[in-house]
């Protein structure tokens, strides 16, 4: 994913939405580490699972990080599918 962000899209700003799960935090840390030194600005937002609508989160990102080149939503939950 990081290779695609840096070399494919040539993004300079990335918004990354993650869950509070331990595995998600590990993935988010790995993305942060992989982007370190690339010149890509990273904004990470943590959300709770099983929300009926993520529109407010996307609105928040639009307000706080309006010029993001990539929005990556690393959100999945097998319980609610």
Mean pLDDT in runs of 10 for the chain (81 residues)?
A: 91 87 74 93 82 79 87 67 48
The pLDDT value given to residue 77: 57
Task: Tell me 47's DSSP state.
Answer: E
The pLDDT value given to residue 23: 63
The pLDDT value given to residue 56: 83
CA angle 60, 67, 75 (to 5 degrees): 50
The pLDDT value given to residue 39: 94
- CA–CA gap between residue 74 and residue 27 (Å, rounded): 9
The model's pTM is 0.76
- CA–CA gap between residue 31 and residue 43 (Å, rounded): 11
């Amino acid at each position: 994913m990081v290779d695609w962000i840096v070399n494919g899209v040539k993004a300079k700003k990335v918004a990354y939405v993650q869950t509070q799960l331990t595995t998600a935090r590990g993935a988010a840390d790995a993305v942060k580490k992989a982007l370190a030194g690339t010149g890509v600005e990273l904004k990470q937002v943590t959300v709770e699972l099983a929300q009926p609508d993520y529109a407010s989160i996307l609105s928040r990102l639009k307000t706080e990080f309006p010029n993001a080149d990539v929005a990556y939503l690393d959100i999945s939950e097998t319980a609610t599918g």
